[in-house]
Chain A
Amino acid sequence: MKFTRKLLASSALAVVASVSWAQDVSRENTVIFDLDRTIQDPENFNWMTPGTKRMHGAHQTMWEPLFILNYGTGDLDPWLATGFDQNDDSTEFTIALREGVEWSDGEAFNADDVIFTVNLAMTNEEISSREAATIRAQVASVEKVDDLTVRFTLQNPNPRFIVENFGVRIFGSFLIMPEHIWNGEDAATFAFNPPIGTGPYTFTSAASNRAIWDRNDDWWGAKTGFLGLPAPQRVIFLESGGEESRAQLMASNQLDAAQNVSIGTFEAIAAQNPNVIAWYADYPYSAADPCARQLEINTTVAPWDDANMRKAVAHIIDRNQIVNVAYEGTTTASETMFANYGSMAPFIDAVVEAGYGLPASADVAAGQTLIEATGWTRDGDYYTKDGETLSVDIHVNSASTEYTRTIDVVVEQLQRAGIDARAVPVENGVFWGEVLPFGTYEMSYSWLSCGSVNEPWASMGRYTVKDLVPVGERSPGFNNTARWDGDRAEAYSAVVDEIATRALGDPEVPALVAEAYGHLDAGTPFIPLVQAAKLLPMNETYWTGWPTAENYYNHPFFWWNHTHQIIHNLEPAGN
């Protein structure tokens, strides 16, 4: 009885406490972003280890990048750095850091922090994050020139070194950590709690479904005149759940920016809440995402270890139907592995001219011929061989209807062609944490050739034999999770390594891309499906200044590291 009363009293206290704490910042001073995943370890802020440790607001509000690639202008916008120099063969890069940058605990941010963090990634083999693995694969040494200048020496020429590692080209960047806190800690196990950063917000609290960040009015940027303080006093990243709850929260102004929704849902939200906008004011509303969708195939699992079987699947897939059913016409079929950006056109054209472009419609008969050529015979609904039915499990991230419905369509197409396919929906964290990196799937829905925005290597370099690991071991930086191996893969890797050394704009590159693509097409470690389009509802009830096609200061993908720019651009709507 006593215990119960105590419990009641303490829970009542907790309620009172949380209410008073929630009232600290009013709704009109708070911006609420949608989070598409559960934060499995909300107490841990070590971004170098796997898990949701940066996209829940940490790298949007607290940790700042050195540069930010501006998708609108193609320039690298300087942030914590002011610029860089490189030598002629792209093996040495010197970065100039901004003066006056401070960690939120008042310590100065300088070259020592950069060198310390890079050395952590280079020396600690247990660190598995993609950004750290890339640094480890590229950097030979890093040295301090002076307090605000750092020089990197690379293992191989890499003209893209800065944009690839420090420029938020795709999703994130290599984040610099404070030496005075991380020093002496094991980077593979350190929890970094409480976390600090250089950003205008500091960490307040987190639970599995939300993270709260409050403005640091003593931010260095405002003191040095780099940028004014951002308008929102509080930033919340809130896990909204599925499309329905996302839509209801948006319609009732409990969310300021939502993750991807289907076009029908967006129209319904906009009809209920006229303040809700998207990238385009009209159809198709959505912004082109640089991560084209694909079907990843584990090339070590029979019968999909046979390239002809993989090609057969590629023939059977009808991209038009995916566009029409899963995207309701708001995107286009992929011709190659690349994003259909204007800056990628020379490479896409070279591939298509060489005859490796993918058709938008299916050629089921060609696919079936390939299957039959490998000894399978159609027995009723499905192909069989030695009493075994031709079947495949396709793992798909269940976080969005975009993903699951694409795979539902693919499953249907394979079923009709005689392959007993089925979808295996998996929770976001499990999908990225366990299924993909360790190769525990037959086929999966992903966008792992994502990377290229204005040159071909970033995407192509993700499928080379250099990153080959056996099933059960973690793929370095999600590269070559298909575990593609053999002569074709070797030949492909050789050409791609050649492309890696070429400067941006080298006229011979498109021909090399076509040559490499020939090997890739023959090997088919993955099947490009469709271009990705993100329809992100943004709410102007409390905040204006969202990125749109007309207000194109950068793209609207607010789970990326560049979201600092979005938050700085937000202005109170006055409601």
Chain B
Amino acid sequence: MTSQDNMPMTRAEKRQARRIRRFDNPWMNPKLTWGVAILLGIVAIGIIGRFVWNLDLVFTGSAPLKLPPLGAENLRGQPGVMEYPLGTDGAGRDMLALIIVGAPNTLFVGLLASLIGMSIGIFLGFSAGFIGGRVDDVIRVGADVMITIPPLLILVVFQSAFGDVTLTMMALLIAGFVWQSPTRLIRAQVLSMKQSGYVQMAQLSGASTTHIMFREMLPNLVPYLFGSFIASVTTSIVTAVGLEVLGLGPQRIPTLGRTIYEAINAGALIQNLWWWWGIPTLLLGVMFIGLLLINLGLDEVSNPRLRKLS
């Protein structure tokens, strides 16, 4: 036992200790933590809300029209009431219920679309990079061609043709446009990684192609994959919200984008029904900030040079 053990650490020492711990575990950086917390918060609103709030209030005509949030007043001078704490929209839907159902829906479309897109991307990217030759040519050209097509344009046509779509359907459609970037990114990483010693060693020891691809190389790509995944979640949500704001998403399933569409369509701006378009817009903003933070955090994980001493 030395005297040092008993001595309390000074503040500076504590900070340094924390910093060192953070270096040890790059996944514990504050950006990542905050980003994940924000997204989990939105999911939590959805989950907890389902137990404590009456979700039938998301349907047309289930509440009085155009009530303001608590503490505010609408143009007719009606005050907000406890039954509808965030106010109601012009079709008699409760804003709180809309958010409880709509916000996770928006997140769900983004996650599902990029999960599918990423899976396709990982598979194609590895195949192109590792197998090479004709396979590489076909996949590379395919991805390059697809990347030049503006997704919103195609999706608008698709959705107009389909009419009403489900959330899953919409995610599938969007997934068709988010696999190209991961494919290219992973292909590039695989090409450079192929030359590294451990891969060549594995090849020499006779490991199968799939074993090398998914057991040896994939784990090293995890931070990249996460980064790419979050980026495509953002893209997917932007695309989904874009479609919804144009009125092309699901008709009866509440989403944040559709709520904004309906607000604009019903003249909410001129009637000063700010809660109708403002709350979903705010939530979307928070959601994107959360995704951005996660992305920045993951960058620090995969790129040690970004980890600064603070």
Q: Which A residues contact B (CB, under 8 angstroms)? A: 242-244, 246-248, 251, 261-262, 264-265, 267-269, 271-272, 321, 324-325, 328, 393, 398, 401, 404-405, 408-409, 411-412, 415, 422-425
Residues 26-65 of chain B: 1 if any A CB is under 8 Å from the residue's CB, otherwise 0? 0000000000000000000000000000000001111001
Q: Which of B59, B164, B265, B268 contacts A422 (CB 8 A)?
A: B164
**In the complex with contacts A268-B75, A408-B91, A422-B270 CB distance below 8 A:** no
- In Å, the complex CA distance between A271 and B271 comes to 10
B18 within 8 A of A: no
Check B60 against A265 for contact (C-beta < 8 Å): no
- In Å, the complex CA distance between A423 and B258 comes to 14
Query: Number of residue pairs across A and B with beta carbons under 8 Å?
Result: 88
**In the complex with contacts A328-B65, A422-B164, A412-B269 CB distance below 8 A:** no
- Residues of A near B61 (CB, < 8 A) are 321, 324-325, 409, 412
B223 within 8 A of A: no
- In Å, the complex CA distance between A247 and B263 comes to 13
Check B164 against A264 for contact (C-beta < 8 Å): no
Chain A, residue nearest B56 (CB): A416
- In Å, the complex CA distance between A247 and B247 comes to 20
- Residues of A near B272 (CB, < 8 A) are 268
Q: Which of B56-96 contact A (CB under 8 A)?
A: 59-62, 65-66, 75-76, 90-92
- In Å, the complex CA distance between A321 and B264 comes to 23
B266 within 8 A of A: yes
Distance from A356 Cβ to chain B, minimum over Cβ atoms (Å): 27
What would be 19 A-B contacts, judged by CB atoms less than 8 Å apart? A243-B265, A243-B267, A244-B269, A247-B270, A262-B266, A264-B267, A265-B270, A268-B267, A325-B91, A398-B247, A401-B265, A401-B266, A401-B267, A405-B90, A405-B266, A408-B91, A409-B91, A412-B61, A422-B164
From B61, B91, B251, B264, residue with most partner A Cβ within 10 Å: B61
Check B266 against A268 for contact (C-beta < 8 Å): no
Chain A, residue nearest B62 (CB): A412
**In the complex with contacts A271-B75, A408-B60, A248-B270 CB distance below 8 A:** yes
Chain B, residue nearest A248 (CB): B270
Shortest 7 CB-CB distances between A and B: which pairs? A265-B267, A243-B267, A247-B270, A325-B61, A268-B271, A408-B60, A268-B270
Chain B, residue nearest A322 (CB): B61
Check B264 against A242 for contact (C-beta < 8 Å): yes
Distance from B91 Cβ to chain A, minimum over Cβ atoms (Å): 6
Check B265 against A242 for contact (C-beta < 8 Å): yes
- In Å, the complex CA distance between A401 and B264 comes to 11
Check A325 against B267 for contact (C-beta < 8 Å): no
- Residues of B near A243 (CB, < 8 A) are 265-267
- In Å, the complex CA distance between A261 and B266 comes to 9
- In Å, the complex CA distance between A405 and B251 comes to 12
Chain B, residue nearest A244 (CB): B267
Distance from A534 Cβ to chain B, minimum over Cβ atoms (Å): 16
Interface size on B (CB < 8 Å)? 26
- In Å, the complex CA distance between A35 and B273 comes to 26
Check A423 against B164 for contact (C-beta < 8 Å): yes
B163 within 8 A of A: yes
- In Å, the complex CA distance between A264 and B75 comes to 9
Chain A, residue nearest B266 (CB): A401
Check A244 against B60 for contact (C-beta < 8 Å): no
Q: Which of B99-130 contact A (CB under 8 A)?
A: none
- In Å, the complex CA distance between A412 and B252 comes to 9
Check A425 against B270 for contact (C-beta < 8 Å): no
- Residues of B near A272 (CB, < 8 A) are 270
Distance from B89 Cβ to chain A, minimum over Cβ atoms (Å): 11
Check A325 against B265 for contact (C-beta < 8 Å): no
- Residues of B near A269 (CB, < 8 A) are 270
- Residues of A near B270 (CB, < 8 A) are 244, 247-248, 251, 265, 268-269, 272
Distance from A23 Cβ to chain B, minimum over Cβ atoms (Å): 29
Check B251 against A422 for contact (C-beta < 8 Å): yes
8 extra interface residue pairs, beta carbon distance < 8 Å, beyond A262-B267, A268-B270: A242-B265, A244-B270, A247-B267, A265-B267, A325-B65, A401-B266, A411-B60, A411-B252
Distance from A552 Cβ to chain B, minimum over Cβ atoms (Å): 28
- Residues of A near B91 (CB, < 8 A) are 325, 405, 408-409
- In Å, the complex CA distance between A243 and B269 comes to 10
Check B75 against A267 for contact (C-beta < 8 Å): yes
Check A325 against B266 for contact (C-beta < 8 Å): no
**In the complex with contacts A412-B59, A412-B60, A264-B251 CB distance below 8 A:** no
- In Å, the complex CA distance between A261 and B90 comes to 13
- Residues of B near A268 (CB, < 8 A) are 75, 267, 270-272
- Residues of B near A401 (CB, < 8 A) are 90, 265-267
Q: Which of B160-186 contact A (CB under 8 A)?
A: 163-164
Distance from A334 Cβ to chain B, minimum over Cβ atoms (Å): 18
- In Å, the complex CA distance between A197 and B55 comes to 58
Distance from B280 Cβ to chain A, minimum over Cβ atoms (Å): 16
